[in-house]
Structure 1
Amino acid sequence: MVRRLLIAVALLGMLVMAAFALAPIYHGPLLLQLMAGAAAGSVGISFAARRLPAWSAAPLSVLGLTGAALLAMRVSAAAAGVDGSVPAMREALRNSIPRLLLALIPIEPQPDTVLLPVILTWLAGLAAGELGIRYHRVLLSYAPPTVLFGGALYLVGPNGSAAGWVPLAYSGFAVLGLIVSNRPPSEDQRVSADQLRTLRLRVGAGAVAGLAAIVALSQLLGPSVAAKVGTSPVEPRNMVTPPQLDSLDESPLVRLSGWALNHDQHLFDVEVTGTDAPPPIRLAVLNDYDGVTWRVGATYRNAGRVVAAKPVLTDPQVRQAFRIADLDGRLLPGIATPEEVNGVRVAVDTSDGTMILSDGLRPGLEYSVVSRVHRPDENAMQVADVPNTDAVARHLALPGKVPDSIAQLARHLGEGVSSPYQKAFAIVGWLSEHYKVVGDAPSGHAYPNVEYFLFGPKQAGGQKGTSEQFAAAFAVLARLMGLPTRLAVGFRVEPGRNEVRGGDAVAWPEVLFNGVWEPFDPMPKADTVQRPTEDDFRPKPPASQPPPETVPAPSDSAAPQSPKPSVTPSTEAGPRRSSGVAVTVTAGSLLLALLALAASVPLARRTRRRRRLGRGTPEQRVEAAWAEVLTGLRLAGRPAPPHLSASEVAGYAATAATGRAHSKPGGVATIRSATPPVDDLAALVNTVAFAFAGSVSEEQAARAAVQAVAYVDELRARRGFWRRLRWSLDPRPLFWK
């Protein structure tokens, strides 16, 4: 009995070591306690039932497993403050594997994150106990604990520390089991001297063969195994897809203009305690910019109540209590940087601390957040440096061609400034002194929008915008000056007022200094007098101007006259006849080429229009219809300004169609009806850009094509005869993007 008890202790120790191997990625000691309890229960039942029939061990162990699972679920649910009912247990067991792979580290012990480890520990203990205690197959009984230990190491992956005492303790328990399982031979098992010599010979030969095999394997596999020592383990969490955002939440910067227009829209209520001057409530962080749109580009992991792996204890703690009203989407508001979230199950991006709710926000949703608010040290920031490594390459990227005027302004602001912090303040001073904040500025933060905001004429809407344009302009200028920059979207909180409305939405830039993201406010103050931009900086025109769209043919009078060859009267007639034939052939060939071009260009354009409007997905056909409208405006000599939104282009198209009506023979002018509107087409374009895939039907795509063709035909009909002729023969639309 003592020998079997020591074997049971060895198996129990190996199972507990597997729990110690898994514990580093969990928050607190609860998982370790539950797995140790499961190991003790399963091995204990096998030891207690060793004298009973073998068939009785399984039913007893199943009853024990049921009790252990219920206990683990109730204890973890109570500790996490979540539902611990039996239906919740079924749901937790069904989703335990993806929850483990998607959970934020440290994983909070909850029913869906502890049930699977507890059940696997119990089953491994049952198999090991029956093999080692009942059937005395000690070495074979090590297989289940070893599989459990290896699975724990694989699940931890690169998130644990270097191997320490746990593998050594695991090996020590295994050696203990092998030592106590060795029994002296009985009287009837004694061997003779000859048999003993034979046995020793065989053991010696086996030892030599084993040693040779070990040496050979060490020579063959040793270098490759040694090379793995410094590498990181495989991350199993990369095998599953984390929670994703839709297009509306992926680029929330475009929502600022809508919130500004609906400034009284009640978004949510919040009560902030722990500070007299609440910082802005952050909704999202936008890291990636492609020259057109700023995007979130985050990787979210499911989290429990604890969402910060290493809380910064030196920063003050701020508590917030939220109640959602009209705010929609998946992005969850909260003051940076969150440490704890109660009331909802969230997913968190560990790089910036932003949170999402997989089920989406709903009116009446209540939750609370505990955050650590970073207070920057102004003196330290004066000498702070910015990193320039591969890790921050995404925060320095500016794809495409940055307009020359913006690049010139960045060089102008960076002249004579060496400190990165002073460079950021130079941008803040420029934007806050020269530009004006308006609430009805159109949305847009692409390169053309930023350029128009910085240098556009004031009377046409330039040099004024919302926080979207201020933040986007700061970010582009900062990245041109070598400062890692990102944008944040959130809401201002006024002391003493709990309601947050659409007018409180704001965007601001953040710059990375010494590993900490510092926010900046480029918005002008209320008493700031706007200074004319032209007084302090005027961008130089580009070195080479693009050629005009149409080049007039040179007149006969302007064409250089080539000198006539000097010929004698006797030889003049022959060459003149041959040159006349050559001129006639050349002119005929040129005429045929012009006729072929005149016939092929309209045919090619008509075929291209029919193919683009009639094939592809509904979204592609809507985009093609919108391209037809923009092409028609360019051919009419009234191209749409690049800073206008789709809805504004639709209004512009209605006014751009006005033109000189051509006259019928006899001097009677043609009276034309109003141009077909393209407002519905503009709405479909916005749907394609910002809604989810499949939101446009086949009928809507067909109607969009009809509207586009009707508008373009009417726009062409309002031009004069020569303008309509050039419209039909112009080959440039075939090459326009």
Structure 2
Amino acid sequence: MSSPDAAASRRPAELALTIGVYVALYAAMMPLIRVVTLSWWVLGALALTGAILAAGFVARRFRLPAIAVTLIELVVWVALLTGMFLADTALVGIVPTPETVRTVPALVSTAMDAVQLGAAPLDPSPALSFVIVGSMGLLAIAIDHVVLTARMPLLAAVGLIAISLVPSIAVPGPLDGTAFVLLAAAILFMMRVETRSREQQRGRDAVDDPATIRAPAQVNNGVSATALGIGAVAVIIAMVATPLLPAPTASGIGGTGVGAAIDPSLQLGNDLRRPRDIEVLTVRSSAPAAPYLRAATLSKFDGAVWSPDQPSSVPLGDASLGPVTADPDIRVDEYTTTVEVKNLNSAWLPVAFPAVAVTGLEGAWAAVPTNRTVIAQGASTQGQTYDIVTQVPRPTLEQARSHSASAAGLSDDTLSLPADLPPVIGQLATQVTAGATTDYDKLVALQTWFRSSAFRYSLNAPVEAGFDGTGADAVAQFLDVRAGYCVHFASAFALMARSLGMPTRIVVGYLPGSNTNTSIGDETVYSVMSSQLHAWPEVYFGGIGWIPFEPTNSLGSPTSFSPGSLTTGVPGSTAAPTTGPAATPSPTATQSTVDPNLPRDDSFARSTATAVNPLPAITAVLGILLALAIPGLIREIRRRQLLAAARSGDAAAAWMSVQDAAIDLGIPVPASESPRSLGTRLVDEHGAPPDPMTVLIGGIERASYASGGHHGFWQGDELADAAAAVRTGLLASADRPRRLLAIAAPRSLIVRPGSAYAGSGAGSGSHARAR
């Protein structure tokens, strides 16, 4: 049984480990903020985990058994979780009742539905917050037991890292560098504290056995420093190398790693820039042309990001989507489209618009009537073959002009603009549409302007110019540079239309694909590739519905309607964008004349087209240099720690400093050689000063063999000064290349005294002579 002094000495280690666990839990939770909107659930999770860890720490101070500590933590978890979310049904607000217990399954079920059917970032509903906070509490109990009771921080690290990766898999995006570094630092800190705690315990166990004092110091004293060095190098390399790696072949919400996926958060740049292009589905339709296929709509814009709509859903059935409603004089044509999924694993089903029925699906699916999309409830798109029935309103040109873009009956999100919207967006919208008199003509004017020679489609220009995003500032910069991809064109079009008072939203889905020159019956089969992931805007017209437009330069076909005199008795042009050669609006489509080259400053666009951004290369070089400097930095930290221990009277630490210096210079330090023999050899053959070496040899021999160790014979400062002098002498006697190598790439971080690697090197043949 350990002594009271030993128990007391463990308390600082337990406190440090508890703090490390708390920081690690916080770091593992940080990536979750990209999935669930930041709210009070973060404070709730931090408060609950802090209370659980504090309860465990206090219980261990009373030396309670491990099972009692875990039970106390579970009681704290139940009481606080009840007080936060279920106080209305609990006794005194924290003691659960049968009614409280019955409420929990409903909360969990509601939260799971939100996760399966919602789109990131999810709204932090009470049910979802309950599950998140409760899960963090259970995780805290588990990690506390693994680290503090089982003393296995490495096992806990594996679990924490896996948990922190889940949000990144669900919602692909840039690496959360802050969370990554914080988690890595917390894990390394816990490993360091645990290793030192074990070393100190072994030292206390061996204090009455002089024969065992030297071995632990030689073998174990550098383990934690080595682990810290390896971990730090790994962190730096990961931070530098991750941005340089190619994107994976699957990303997006709802994907599980098989095939491509759909990301409805408008983070499409990396998807479109992937070098590997795969076929995701085939489509054939009875419509005059293959339709666009939508997955999700985005109406809410906060100035930085477009958020996917999260309307109520109903189980998919024959009548769940309902018929299309339009004014009686608007013709509505019905078509059937068949989709066969090849390599797409997503919870978002690609469907033609406006869908009134979807049949042939396997598994559980939900329909969203408000935007006519379909979402998986317990299934995936992979391997599905299904039919979509659409009812497409086909107004004439005169009818489109006579209807206004109205937000009646729609959410305010379709019209809202951020208060700090850059003025250039509204100014350009007014200039481009100055000659148009109707809402439809204004939108066609915008579409024509974006598709003119004033703009170009580019996947790289947004990255080079630093506006690869969907925020208002990125849109303003896009309107200056005038080069980007579908996200930029769609965002700019939608915001400019809103500045004119028109309700808009953005749709994420797929272009119609390419003709395969094969057909099934009378229907041509089109192949849709992963690179045809697309975004386009829609504008709502009262009496007609949502009309899609295609502003993206060089992609798809622009929206246009034909005059009534040309459509009587014959199929008209579709309101939805179609594939094939870009259709030119008829001369009567709009009476406005738009100058595609409105005055602007072209210098920025020209400079970004020709200049090479040196920042990535500079960052990579600095990162590599920093990684190369890490071993030397860690070695210096270790040397200072050993000297500090030596000043406190630890002769073994002073001697370890000399052994490390010898190993760094390639001097053998075999296990069979006594301190006196090694010291004599270092003086005779490697330039170590004799007087300081005599002090060190005397100190380590007294610590190892004298009765009571070094007690009663204090020479801490003398030992530290002697160790520093010996190291200086060894370095001064070595040639310049070996000296530089010892400083930049110290072998002692991975080669320990007495090991097989420490017993070889220059000078190994002189052992017997020195002895």
What TM-score results when the alignment is normalised by the length of structure 2?
0.36
What TM-score results when the alignment is normalised by the length of structure 1?
0.38
Larger radius of gyration, structure 1 or 2? 1
